[in-house]
Structure 1
Amino acid sequence: MASPLSRRSLLRAAALAAATPAVSLAATGRASAAVEAPQAAVTAAAAAAAPAAWTVQPFALDDVALRPGIFATKRQLMLDHGRGYDVNRLLQVFRANAGLATGGAVAPGGWEGLDGEANGNLRGHYTGHFLSMLAQAYASTGDQVYADRIGTMVGALNDVREALRRDPRMLSVTGKFGTAQENVRGSYQYVDLPSAVLGGASAITLSAWVKPTHNANWARVFDFGNNNTRYMYLVGRNASGVPRFAVTTNGPGAEQGLNGTAALPLNQWSHLAVTIGAGTGTLYVNGTAVATNTSMSLNPAALGTLANNWLGRSNFSGDPVFAGAFDEFNVWSRALTAAEITALQSNRASATSAGRGNLASYDFFETAGGTFADASGRGLTATLRRTWGGPSHPGFLAAYPETQFIELESMTSGDYTKVWAPYYTAHKILKGLLDAHLATDDARALDLASGMCDWMYSRLSKLPDATLQRMWGIFSSGEFGGIVETIVDLHAITGKAEHLALAKLFDLDRLIDACAANTDILDGLHANQHIPIFTGYVRLYDATGESRYLTAAKNFWGMVVPPRMYGIGGTSTAEFWKARGVIAGTISDTNAETCCAHNLLKLSRMLFFHDQDPKYMDYYERALYNQVLGSKQDKADAEKPLVTYFIGLKPGHVRDYTPKQGTTCCEGTGMESSTKYQDSVYFKKADNSALYVNLYSPSTLTWSEKGVTVTQTTDFPREQGSTLTIGGGSAAFELKLRVPSWATGGFKVTVNGSAVSGTPTAGSYFTVSRTWRSGDTVRVTLPFRLRVEKALDDPSLQTLLYGPINLVGRNSSTDYLQLGLYRNAGLSGDLLPSLTPVTGKPLHYTLNGTEFAPFLEGTEDPTHAYFRRSEPRVVFGTTDSGVANPAKSDGTTLLDEIWAGAPFAGKGALVTRVRSTVNAWVTAGLLSQANGATVVRTAEQATYAP
């Protein structure tokens, strides 16, 4: 009998289409207001919500518990990282963009932060990944700490959106004398003064207390001007890092200026003052005159009435906004004396002989609101503003202004220093919020996600189709990641027609049409810009029934796997694809971007829901057990997730687990990969009549619809098999056990100790159908065999695979290792007898003095993923014929052709293969008759492993 499900499960059922495409995130039984519901109602809701096109469905993460093994060990490292990392560091850029206090938090750096690569134009992406990771961690473990962290982040992002929706408001901080206005770095905020502020004075004093928090050059304390030709400014740091005052009516070349002698200290209050009178200008720093110019012919009167009178903003658009605090800004229509300037150091102006500025005087006494009162008596109220104004729609949420999105609409070529994939970043935030909602029922997260889609629709729906096609084709500014998938997932919850319409606005027709026609146009394309697009297009097929989406996705997958796939399951070189079939010709230090593997796994999984072709799960196993596991370093770290960006396949490459300070896209997807290892171990048929066992991984499945559990006990891949035990009750269903394509001999299944009839076929599913009862035990035996895979464009360049595991040589040489493997090959074709096992280290072997180890081990050893095959002489069973191993023009050797006939039933079958192959080669003139006879005789005399 299936147990009653919680309110959380009901919500999951109602939103199954949204929850399951990427990874089901339910936290069954953990909702704060759980209520029981009849099982039939739950099942009906789930069936109604699942896409009709899905013939199989995944289980939620909390339906599958990882048991001890390599996955649980790797996951724990990431769980600990997620538990301990200060999320305020990730929220810093969001809060700063909204002008909110950041609490002294420091963004992690790399791609994530105000000082990140390309002007920090990708900031915010990592926060979305982190939210998804936390959601998966909570769904998998039920540990409240992850839900609490999600709540903190969602609450902060909600505050950020509210702040962005309104005009900026004062951030009151402790000032020099009382309160002060702080412009948080990254807020793009400044104070706008009325045009009459200078009053046409011919003599003037300007005085301000400032507390800079960043050392950017050319950030204005004030700038009064019309443009970059007529202006008067004061900066805390010029190009030399010292204060500068300048005035001009004819641009930078005609500036009359004053330069200080020392940099202003950061995070300390400094007093700056400028006086102009009778042709003399003086710059004061903390009451001391540091520069005097007796030849100043310009003054405010010469400038006239100016349009832009700003504190903290420059009339030069490329200059930074001042980051720091302002206190007591005064303007007098005379040049104060040195003594008067000195008196301002220890008192408010109102308490000195100078008095308040008679042209303008701002005390910043306010503690709220967005305006500042003028105490000069002239009533020149100042207003706090943003340089970019504000969002075009109240749903906008980002860690930077909307300007990147706006500028993309007119771009014709990419420039990531100006626009770096804003919709990609929007996708990460959107998905993090949706995952947060699905894991914790937080309505705020759903509202934020829905609002983001409303905002995107309000922008993109107004653009002509030609503009959209141009935008989405731009590298990398137009990259939008998996946003289509997430929007369709959200639409399954909101039901808003605008959301489905929005998803279709990301159609990249040139790519869809080419792939639908099975025309390969991938050469030269950025790999990860395009892989996640197709997962979204499959979801669009689910939502619309338009077959071109699904056809294009299937054909696209076949253009990558295997024609552009390395042995570890990864793809791409320096983020891009080369020509189809070029593997050896692309080996470098920048192969296999980790994001690509993450997203190909998602696409493979999605396609399997529609078409149970075992090739999709064969690929899933390959990439998961090799690149994805191997991309995570086997080390704990509180600050970094320790995930690779590229995985170099050149000889002697050492994996870098902290590229670009650890906040690239791949660290983000790596966090997600590490907290959903169990997402594809089991699938169920849509009508619950069958259970697919896709991966042999230690785990326990709770199949509530059937009222049973399935527990896998295995140390796979260190164990060549798995035991599945049924628990909980009695249920009839087909158990579909995956027979991997590499399992070419010896795959066996027993139920309760008795062999199951039938002939398992490699690259298929073996079905056992019965009424299962608690205690039933299924034993699967999967013998491994060591084999090679050859580079498509150079058969002599090969990689070793033992069962599903890629074995890599650990050797510091930067030249390809030269290896021979036929010397002691078994009659089965297994090359393993040529290697020597390492005692006490499962899956470790040595050959020619080099240790070979599983790629999945996240070490910093120099590795050789590929080697150069070298079989100079014909050898059988350690017996050397003395005959040179001849080769055809394509590189295929005599031994290659002989052993291609494996497995052999016995020695006689091998000798027969040797004789027929030798005869063919002698006839073709590739081998002399005498040498051929020697080869056959050696084969007859040799002894072979099984």
Structure 2
Amino acid sequence: MAPPLSRRSLLQAATLAAATPATAPALSYAATDPATAVTPTAVAIPSTWTVRPFALNDVALGAGVFADKRRLMLDHARGYDVNRLLQVFRANAGLPTGDAVAPGGWEGLDGEANGNLRGHYTGHFLTMLAQAYAGTREQVFADRIGTMVGALTDVRAALRTDPAVLSVAGRFGAAALNERGSYQYVELPPAVLGAATAITLAAWVKPVHDDNWARVFDFGADTTRYLYLAARNANGVPRFAVTTSGAGGEQGLNGTSALPSNEWSHLAVTIANGTGTLYVNGAAVARSTAMTLTPAALGTLAHNWLGRSNYPADPVFAGAYGGFDVWSRALSGTEIAELQGSRAADASTGRGDLASYAFDETTGGSFADASGRGLTATLRRTWGGPSHPGYLAAYPETQFIQLESMTGSDYTKVWAPYYTAHKILRGLLDAYPATDDDRALDLASGMGDWMYARLSVLPAATLQRMWGIFSSGEFGGIVEAICDLHALTGKAEHLALARLFDLDKLIDACAANTDTLDGLHANQHIPIFTGLVRLYDATGEERYLTAASNFWGMVVPHRMYGIGGTSTGEFWKARDVIAGTIGATTAETCCAYNLLKLSRTLFFHEQAPKYMDYYERALYNQVLGSKQDTADAEKPLVTYFIGLTPGHVRDYTPKQGTTCCEGTGMESATKYQDSVYFAASDGSALYVNLFSPSQLTWADKGVTVTQTTGYPRDQGTTLTIGGGSATFELRLRVPSWATAGFRVTVNGRAVSGSPTPGSYFAVSRRWRAGDTVRVAVPFRLRVERALDDPALQTLFLGPVNLVGRNSATEYLEFGLYRNAGLSGDLLPSLTLVTGKSLHFTLDGTEFAPFFEGTEDPTHAYFRRSEPRVVFGNTDSGVANPAKADGTTLLDEIWTGAPFGDKGALVARVRSTVEAWVSGGLLSGSDGTKVVSTAERAVFAP
């Protein structure tokens, strides 16, 4: 009897469901003894799955295009400083960030929408590290996971408590730092200004960022009565203002130059007898003799803050305070100058008599007042604190709170907070089984508990509205991740949480097979359906699986480009409009990533070859081609969009990096092997889905299967059985494009049967060590036509999309029938480039595999132009006529391919010509010329 499954084993099962293509190091294979090989922990597979995947560490990649691409990403995984990723988390919790600089793009506070998506990239990176470790067992990846999980554990603990002082070196002794992104400020007691009729306020500050309108101090009742000093106004210079009638009634003083960042500056303001003066570093920079308002005119003030503004939209001051003093008189210029060389306590002025804070505390969350008035100050967060101890994020909970009342999208205020939560949760769920670090599970479980506590109390109508909001309500693959979490924890609340993300309008439409996708944001919705399949696994509710299956069929092929990608400018257009949607922002890379996940998850329930046909298409083309063939420790070099316009040059570092697509790109490049092999759930069969150099260790059977191939540069593969012996059916995928034959031999003997393109070919026997299976799958050059414009076409050789490399920005025109073979193969019309596999030329343009990650201008689509009837490079001199729908005479002739011999082709030409002549589409004399040309021509096989 097998031992009971551990909680880690359960999560591994969930992780298997989530994985997609991954890789291990290029390696030479040695014989493996299953009796001594390290085997993975047993995994629990949902009873609804009729096939199961293998763990990433069960499948090692051999040398080839996948290993090459993965090696480049592993260099990035080893070289990037993870403390940069953790910076935004630590800052949010008020923890030291050291010298780490937050990533650019979407991850930093200065990125798009003020970094409202920050934290998502850390989740992607954790997943990449977990997959890299599973595929390579390099300790460096496990160590980096440990660093990140440890830091996130510290972050959550800090978020659970009141903020604590972060002590740093000051101008004189110690100072208190408020990290940028911590949303921390200092609250002073109400009596701090003491209704003074004359006053001096002085502070030592060290700004760390050039935010406009961040307050050094702000004492006010609201946005009507207040007194403030901003480090920078709209012109970038310090500004002091006091008012009892709002912004329009401000009496103000403006500085003359900006305060330097990361340097200490002394600021002081004095008011007395109608005169106000602003000092910067001891020098008077502004004076007004019309400063009639004093603290006495403001009355009782509710908010007395250092670092926070009474205007909610203003930023929180980021930087350090080295002292703050308030006197009930106006200091002289000489006294202000004296304060440049010492603390107030050591100057002739003495400490402020209304308030005096040295900020030399090194622990705790309060600051002592040395004025003698006992006005202890307290460190606060603008958002108070998390609603639940499980909260973990790189920004305040306010985005989640605001989403609950939003009725329209505004990503500058709320940008997909649950999407970000998904990435963090997914990263933790992947880190846990990779390293057995219980802290990762605890963090993940806490996030589930927090989300349930937040969402379970909301009305159903609120949830439906939230999830229907573009961008702001996007939640990515969180349902899948929560189902995986539930499989691990067994908490009923976690399964209930997964169902709280149901977007009923979308689910019901897809379950009824009603296509409502036009106008929807593609990547916001694709991962929803992978989650629905997992909900079906957990609940048995059929509408989830039906909706997902129908949805897949609405995208493939109806909204799919040749490379396997989908979406235009992130959105879907009308069904079957392909040529009409091609632009510079087609094929968002995240969409391909998520369609791969959905395809494999559906295959676990229904072994329809179409899912793996799509998988091969998208993996070998868009996914591989989205990774630049260059090593870079600082950037993953992955595309966001892949423009399919003529002459498009791929951008491998869009938006300064750290986008969603670069995150999923990191994941894709470390799991290329995840769908090469599947096993029937009862162990009776092994599915070989992809022809990829790899070695499978099938522990349950005690065998290894080593696949040796240069595919797709080789047109076939060889599988060798190692280890012991076992009985099972080997199911070899016959690609739908394999119309030129599919031949299988076992130990040199041909296997009988007629493999059908778009199926699996089964070979059943008791396999023994040394058994060798050879598969030949000849490639043919073919075209795929845009559904809405058949003349716009893309080239494929076997599984490989061939793109023209040409800087022209208009569609190129090519003819391909000129030397087509009897088989219908168009390849003879192209010329092979010597020494460059899969590279060809046609009319002066080089065609190369899309998967090559270069920065060459490319043409994925071209215009088909066959102006004259040509056979075997013999020109008939007759114009190629066309029907009203665009079908030409040559199109109709060649749809009859393959032809067994030349006679069969000539017969097809003759019968087609007769039909066109009788239909008035071709003259009799021209028809005679066409037939005569076909009879004289020499055809390739």
TM-score (ref. length: structure 2): 0.97
Does 2:361 align with 1:335?
no
1:576-603 CA distance string (max 9 Å, x none): 0010100011111111000000000000
Deviation at 1:12, TM superposition (A): 5.1
Instruction: Find 2:905's aligned residue among 903, 907, 910.
Output: 910
The one-letter code matched in structure 2 to 1:18 is: A
Deviation at 1:277, TM superposition (A): 1.1
Aligned to 1:764: 759
Deviation at 1:371, TM superposition (A): 0.7
Deviation at 1:178, TM superposition (A): 1.3
Query: Could you tell me whether the CA contact under 8 Å between 1:27 and 1:440 is conserved in 2?
Result: no
The one-letter code matched in structure 2 to 1:940 is: E
The one-letter code matched in structure 1 to 2:635 is: K
Aligned to 1:308: 303
| Matched residue SS, 1:498 | helix
Query: Could you tell me whether the CA contact under 8 Å between 1:12 and 1:19 is conserved in 2?
Result: no
Distance in 1, Cα, partners of 2:873 & 2:244: 90
1:93-143 CA distance string (max 9 Å, x none): 111111111112111211111111011111111111011000000010000
**Which structure 2 residue ranges, 5 or more long, are not aligned?**
25-33
Aligned to 1:727: 722
Aligned to 2:187: 192
Deviation at 1:914, TM superposition (A): 1.2
The one-letter code matched in structure 2 to 1:598 is: Y
| Matched residue SS, 2:18 | coil
Instruction: Find 2:284's aligned residue among 282, 289, 303.
Output: 289
Aligned to 1:15: 11
Aligned to 2:661: 666
Deviation at 1:13, TM superposition (A): 3.5
Q: 1:5 to 1:278 in 2, by over 3 A?
A: farther
How do 1:671-710 residues align onto structure 2 when only pairs under 5 Å count?
Answer: 671-710=666-705
Structure 1 range deviating more: 234-243 or 569-578: 234-243
Distance in 1, Cα, partners of 2:384 & 2:738: 62
Query: Could you tell me whether the CA contact under 8 Å between 1:844 and 1:851 is conserved in 2?
Result: yes
Aligned to 2:515: 520
Instruction: Find 1:64's aligned residue among 38, 53, 59.
Output: 59
1:386-429 CA distance string (max 9 Å, x none): 11111111111111111111111111110111111111111001
Aligned to 2:608: 613
Aligned to 2:572: 577
How do 1:249-288 residues align onto structure 2 when only pairs under 5 Å count?
Answer: 249-288=244-283
Query: Could you tell me whether the CA contact under 8 Å between 1:24 and 1:58 is conserved in 2?
Result: no
Does 2:445 align with 1:447?
no
1:715-741 CA distance string (max 9 Å, x none): 001110101000011111110011100
Distance in 1, Cα, partners of 2:127 & 2:422: 12
Does 2:694 align with 1:716?
no
Aligned to 1:32: none
Deviation at 1:929, TM superposition (A): 2.1
1:688-733 CA distance string (max 9 Å, x none): 1110000000000000000100001100011101010000111111
How do 1:352-751 residues align onto structure 2 when only pairs under 5 Å count?
Answer: 352-751=347-746
Aligned to 2:872: 877
Distance in 1, Cα, partners of 2:154 & 2:183: 18
Deviation at 1:746, TM superposition (A): 2.2
Query: Could you tell me whether the CA contact under 8 Å between 1:25 and 1:438 is conserved in 2?
Result: no
Distance in 2, Cα, partners of 1:18 & 1:686: 15
Instruction: Find 2:213's aligned residue among 198, 210, 218.
Output: 218
Q: 1:145 to 1:378 in 2, by over 3 A?
A: same
Query: Could you tell me whether the CA contact under 8 Å between 2:21 and 2:669 is conserved in 1?
Result: no
Deviation at 1:377, TM superposition (A): 1.0
Q: 1:641 to 1:25 in 2, by over 3 A?
A: closer
Deviation at 1:229, TM superposition (A): 0.9
Does 2:840 align with 1:845?
yes
Q: 1:113 to 1:677 in 2, by over 3 A?
A: same
Distance in 2, Cα, partners of 1:748 & 1:816: 38
Aligned to 1:31: none
Query: Could you tell me whether the CA contact under 8 Å between 1:26 and 1:62 is conserved in 2?
Result: no
| Matched residue SS, 1:418 | coil
Deviation at 1:278, TM superposition (A): 1.3
Aligned to 1:326: 321
Distance in 2, Cα, partners of 1:886 & 1:258: 81
Aligned to 1:79: 74
How many residues align? The count is: 930
Query: Could you tell me whether the CA contact under 8 Å between 1:371 and 1:382 is conserved in 2?
Result: yes
Distance in 1, Cα, partners of 2:203 & 2:115: 30
The one-letter code matched in structure 1 to 2:13 is: A
Distance in 2, Cα, partners of 1:249 & 1:428: 47
Q: 1:11 to 1:749 in 2, by over 3 A?
A: farther
Q: 1:85 to 1:45 in 2, by over 3 A?
A: closer
Distance in 2, Cα, partners of 1:12 & 1:697: 29
Query: Could you tell me whether the CA contact under 8 Å between 2:723 and 2:769 is conserved in 1?
Result: yes
Structure 1 range deviating more: 684-693 or 915-924: 915-924
Distance in 2, Cα, partners of 1:233 & 1:704: 70
| Matched residue SS, 2:719 | strand
| Matched residue SS, 2:679 | strand
Deviation at 1:25, TM superposition (A): 12
The one-letter code matched in structure 2 to 1:420 is: W
Query: Could you tell me whether the CA contact under 8 Å between 1:81 and 1:640 is conserved in 2?
Result: yes
Distance in 2, Cα, partners of 1:423 & 1:492: 20
Distance in 2, Cα, partners of 1:382 & 1:25: 54
**Which structure 1 residue ranges, 5 or more long, are not aligned?**
29-36
Distance in 2, Cα, partners of 1:132 & 1:413: 32
Runs of 4+ residues over 4 Å off in structure 1: 4-7, 9-12, 24-28, 42-45
Distance in 1, Cα, partners of 2:157 & 2:11: 27
Instruction: Find 2:168's aligned residue among 161, 170, 173.
Output: 173
Distance in 2, Cα, partners of 1:94 & 1:720: 49
Structure 1 range deviating more: 881-890 or 80-89: 881-890
Q: 1:45 to 1:68 in 2, by over 3 A?
A: closer
| Matched residue SS, 1:111 | helix
Deviation at 1:291, TM superposition (A): 1.4
The one-letter code matched in structure 2 to 1:350 is: A
| Matched residue SS, 1:750 | strand
The one-letter code matched in structure 1 to 2:563 is: I
Distance in 2, Cα, partners of 1:441 & 1:602: 25
Query: Could you tell me whether the CA contact under 8 Å between 2:23 and 2:61 is conserved in 1?
Result: no
Deviation at 1:500, TM superposition (A): 0.4
| Matched residue SS, 1:550 | helix
What RMSD over aligned residues (CA atoms) do the two structures have, in Å?
1.8
Query: Could you tell me whether the CA contact under 8 Å between 1:26 and 1:439 is conserved in 2?
Result: no
1:57-95 CA distance string (max 9 Å, x none): 000000000000000000000001000000111111111
1:248-300 CA distance string (max 9 Å, x none): 10111111111111211111111111111111111111111111111211000
How do 1:106-121 residues align onto structure 2 when only pairs under 5 Å count?
Answer: 106-121=101-116
Aligned to 2:137: 142
Query: Could you tell me whether the CA contact under 8 Å between 2:22 and 2:671 is conserved in 1?
Result: no
1:315-359 CA distance string (max 9 Å, x none): 011111001000121111111122221221112211222111111
| Matched residue SS, 1:196 | helix
Deviation at 1:26, TM superposition (A): 13
Distance in 1, Cα, partners of 2:385 & 2:2: 45
| Matched residue SS, 2:493 | helix
| Matched residue SS, 1:513 | helix
Aligned to 1:893: 888
1:654-680 CA distance string (max 9 Å, x none): 000010011111000000000000000
